[in-house]
Amino acid sequence: MDITVYLPDEIGQWAKDNELNLSRLLRDAVEERRTEEQQMETTLKGAKLVKLPVEDRDGRTYTLRFTGVALAEHRTGEVYLTDDERVIVYDSDKSDYSVVEDAEEELRGLLDFDAYIETMNSLGISPEVDLD
């Protein structure tokens, strides 16, 4: 399939000067994104309603409710994938949660090695791990 892609002059010239294969770069990026989307879709097939007790800064309690799947456990809680593809880290000790912006980086130190690799694969991400 032929597709026209616009690049600003400066970027296009730089790519040409550096002999980049733009077709290959785009193809690889689209394939990577497709693989990630397909894996998340597979992971979310078992999604169900999740309810978690949460306490705000003022000590008020409420129930956090979303549709998703548990991906992993960590020292004080769980990691979830929501049906809208957000990654949630829940801390049951603190009755608190956070939305992860960069799963590969933020979950690296939180989960043990096996749980980290499994979670990344569930998200369609092939993680990079440093050689010790």
pLDDT at 130 over 90: no
pLDDT at 21 over 80: yes
* Residue closest to 83 by CA, chosen among 65, 96, 95: 65
- Which is more confidently placed, 1 or 100? 100
For residues 31-56, average pLDDT: 92
The pLDDT tens digits for 44-103 are 998 999 999 999 999 999 999 999 999 999 999 999 999 999 999 999 999 999 999 999
Strand pairing category for 61-74 and 77-82: antiparallel
**92 near 77, Cβ under 8 Å?**
yes
H or E element in which residue 91 lies: strand 87-91
Domains in the chain, number:
1
- Give the strands of the sheet with 48-55, arranged side by side: 48-55, 61-74, 77-82, 87-91, 96-100
Range of the domain at 89: 1-132
Provide the pLDDT for residue 131: 85
Provide the pLDDT for residue 98: 95
* Residue closest to 87 by CA, chosen among 77, 76, 98, 74: 98
SS3 at position 24: helix
* 103 φ/ψ angles, rounded to the nearest 5 degrees: -55, -45
- pTM, two decimals, is 0.78
